[in-house]
């Protein structure tokens, strides 16, 4: 566990740097995570993925499967990795403030 200071608010992260409480998410948080996950600039394309993930999570309570993410956003997996070098789970989900992916990773 660790605490980070983002725009004056203190936010709690787990060891992997994911939000402990998804309610703590803000656009500034996404900008902070971008620096950690080697995303240089948050472009419209990044936001398209982030917003999609947030909407999906709000609606279904889980992260979408990767193939669904690609289909619905129109980005190929290759393009997702170009946007988020650490991939959809560790990169995009973290920026979108979703809980940490679990299971046999």
Partner 1 sequence: MDDRKTPLLDELEKGDWPSFVTEIKRAAAKNKSAADLLAQLESSYEENIGHWKHGGIVGVKGYGGGVVGRYSDEPEKFPHIKEFHTIRVNQPAGFFYTTKKLRQLADIWDKYGSGLYNLHGSTGDCILLGTTTENLQPCVDELADIGFDLGGSGGALRTLSCCVGAARCEKACIDSMQIIHDLTLHYQDAIHRPAWPYKFKIKVSACPNDCAAASARSDLAIIGIWRDAIRIDNEAVRAAVDNGFDIFNRVIRKCPSEALLWDTEKKELTVCAEDCVHCMNCINMMPKAISIGREQGAALMIGGKAPVVKGAMLGWVLVPFIKLEPPYTELKEIIDKITDWWADHGKNRERVSELIVRMGLANFLEAVGLKPLPQMVHEPRSNPYIFWNAEEVEKRG
Site for partner 1 contains 28 (CB under 8 A): no
38 binds partner 1 (CB under 8 A): yes
In the set 77, 83, 97, 98, which binds partner 1 (CB under 8 A)? 77
Q: To which H or E segment does residue 11 belong?
A: strand 9-13
Residue among 54, 64, 52 nearest 29 (CA) = 54
Rounded CA-CA distance 33/39 in Å is 8
Task: Single out the catalytic residue among 1, 3, 40, 104.
Answer: 104
Element of type H or E holding 72: helix 66-73
Is 18 a binding residue for partner 1 by CB under 8 A? The answer is yes
3-class secondary-structure state, position 7: coil
12 makes contact with partner 1 (CB under 8 A): no
CA torsion through residues 5, 84, 100, 97, sign = positive
Binding segment for partner 1 (CB under 8 A), chosen from 2-10, 21-29, 45-53, 59-67, is: 59-67
Q: Site residues (CB under 8 A) for partner 1?
A: 15-16, 18, 38, 62, 65-67, 70, 77-78, 81, 85-90, 100-105
């Amino acid at each position: 566990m660790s605490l980070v200071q983002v725009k004056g608010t203190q936010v709690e992260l787990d060891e992997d740097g994911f939000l402990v409480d998804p309610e703590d998410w803000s656009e500034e948080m996404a900008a902070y995570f971008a620096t950690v996950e080697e995303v240089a600039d948050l472009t419209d394309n990044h936001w398209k993925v982030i917003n999609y993930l947030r909407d999906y999570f709000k609606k279904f309570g889980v992260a979408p499967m990767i193939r669904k993410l690609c289909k619905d956003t129109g980005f190929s997996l290759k393009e997702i990795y170009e946007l988020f070098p650490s991939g959809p789970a560790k990169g995009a989900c973290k920026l979108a403030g979703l809980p940490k992916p679990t299971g046999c990773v």
